[in-house]
Structure 1
């Protein structure tokens, strides 16, 4: 993929990895549109770089995505890259919690359904371009889950599978499909969890190198080691990840 001259939509772009990706691509002379639920964070992000603009959107509802796509078609018809970054994670035990359906539904809607729905809605626009891409963020937990985040891990596993199958379906089209798999990253979502985190900027830099090399599966940092160890010593690694924060 070219590293400049793209028009890029990033969900969950007001903070964390999304904001780091937005900043990285804006500094490479790309036009970046970010979405999110927190208007203040979106405003702050836009103030950081003149090539970043924002459209407030709660991606958990399909009707919101439909309105978003209509606006993109009107105002950003040159859009050629979608980065599905938005995600939420709740830690809870289904055997002990009292009907945690709101948290379950939010994780499924934001982490999986929004990825499928927005990708599908934008495919006609993306397929009309000479060069386009869909980038889906997953997690090492897509490959081996931890005990206290059953639904989150399941949604990331689903996105991993969806990404692979979508790549198959889009072979021969102008749309390239990337999977970005970061390790534990220092963000608001992971506050108080684990150690040895890397920064969102480090994730963005690693993805930038893979982006221009057309490396479609991007395992960042410790994820490279994790995937190897899951083949060499799966029982030990699964037991270790199972009890992680």
Structure 2
């Protein structure tokens, strides 16, 4: 999967799956345009990969549109930015809802919209991958808004696949299980917490960030030229059993 001569816009590129995607796409020849709200992460991507970087708070819809406009016309979009606020049905707050839905769903819809407009103006073509979660398919305690945001993004991606298909723009999702980013390694280091979740995975392990990134690269590539409107579970079989 060679992406030489192509460009990819990645939200949440500073950490976790987004950073793994930036590294992989750069290694495969793509120009990376990285969006993040943390300047130190952007500086690191510029030094490590030669990435173009744009600092933006995706909670701000006006700033989000401006950032995508600054990025210019790209061949691919990866929506990796995401947050979680652990709140139950009974404990949900306005602030938690706005934070999670604002970044996980609204910002993703805005970036998709602006990306698609730019691609259509350029004659069409291109591909989008939105990163969702198994939490959009199974009920996890204290994940009310997070689950709503990820399930909502999958539903919206199906609409986008239908509406953008005539412009030869493909839209897909990947739904990872627990992915061992730096924060997740710490959060799931206690076997008492991790084992009950681990045994629900037929492969008996969690995902690595670069494994998710490789699945995303596949969906962006010509090898997936007839794949649109799909949700690829990168979950070691979790949703299958």
TM-score range, shorter chain: 0.7 to 0.9
Residue 108 of structure 1: aligned partner: 101
Tell me, yes or no, if the aligned pair for 1:142 and 1:153 is still in contact at 8 Å. yes
The alignment covers a number of residue pairs equal to 220
Find 1:83's aligned residue among 56, 61, 78.
78
2:88 is matched with 93
Is the counterpart of residue 147 in structure 1 residue 141 in structure 2? yes
CA contact (8 A) 1:6 1:30 kept: yes
Deviates more, 1:126-135 or 1:24-33: 126-135
Matched, 1:174 2:168: yes
State whether structure 2 residue 234 is matched by structure 1 residue 220.
yes
Q: CA deviation at 1:209?
A: 3.4
Q: Gaps spanning 5+ residues in structure 1: where?
A: 230-245
What is the distance in 1 between the residues matched to 2:24 and 2:239? 27
2:125 matched to 1:131? yes
Q: Deviations over 1:14-72 (max 9, x none)?
A: 0100000011000111100111111111111221112x221001111111012213322
CA contact (8 A) 2:76 2:220 kept: no
By how many angstroms is 1:122 displaced? 2.3
Taking structure 1 as reference, are residues 56 and 146 closer, same or farther at Cα in structure 2, changes over 3 Å only? same
Matched, 1:185 2:185: no
Distance in 2 (CA, whole Å) between partners of 1:55 and 1:90 is 25
Match of 1:209 among 215, 218, 230: 218
CA contact (8 A) 2:9 2:33 kept: yes
Query: What is the match of residue 161 of structure 1?
Result: 155
